[in-house]
Amino acid sequence: MVNNQVETVNKLIELVNISGNSITSSRRRIIAEIARQEGLFTSEELAKALPNIGRATVYRTLRLLYEIGTICRINIVDEHSYYAISLSDHHHHTVCKKCNKIEEINLIGFEKDLNQYEKNINGEILSHNLEIYIICGECD
């Protein structure tokens, strides 16, 4: 494992511990495999890369990491859900409908509008996900 992957593994483990969850040997191996991924991956790809760990354990760990905000889930219409490490600030994604290329985008104005909207509703916004479907410049 290269140095950057080790740092990512350590950061993910630290965040799991801070969230009050334990790090089992299976979770440690799953986190290490996630850190090896370059870009997006599916739960199925992750499970195949870890044949000695039960699929349910892989899926539960992905759900935990998603719930504590260390990975993001990108849902592509009529496709699979993809995951990626998300240790940076909250962001959104564009998804090309032709080639499925996914890119991160920051929508600062949208976030400000959402914060303003929350002041006008009878409730609290817990989270949100936004994928913007496009035809990218390479496919246009």
Distance separating alpha carbons of residues 62 and 16, to the nearest angstrom: 12
pLDDT tens digits along 49-84: 999 999 999 999 999 999 988 888 887 766 778 888
> Is the pTM value of this prediction over 0.85?
no
Among candidate residues 1, 55, 5, the one with its CA nearest the CA of residue 26: 55
76 contact partners, CB below 8 Å, separation of at least 6: 82, 95, 100, 102, 131
Domains by residue range for the chain, with CATH: 3-85 (1.10.10.10), 92-134 (3.30.1490)
Structure tokens belonging to residue 71: 């990975």
Tens of pLDDT along 89-100? 677 888 888 887
pLDDT at residue number 54: 96
Q: What is the DSSP string of the chain?
A: --HHHHHHHHHHHHHHHHTT----HHHHHHHHHHHH--S-EEHHHHHHH-TTS-HHHHHHHHHHHHHTTSEEEEEPTTS-EEEEE--SS--EEEEETTT--EEEE--HHHHHHHHHHHHTSSS-------EEEE--TTT-
pLDDT score of 135 more than 80? yes
**Pairing state between β 41-42 and 71-75:** unpaired
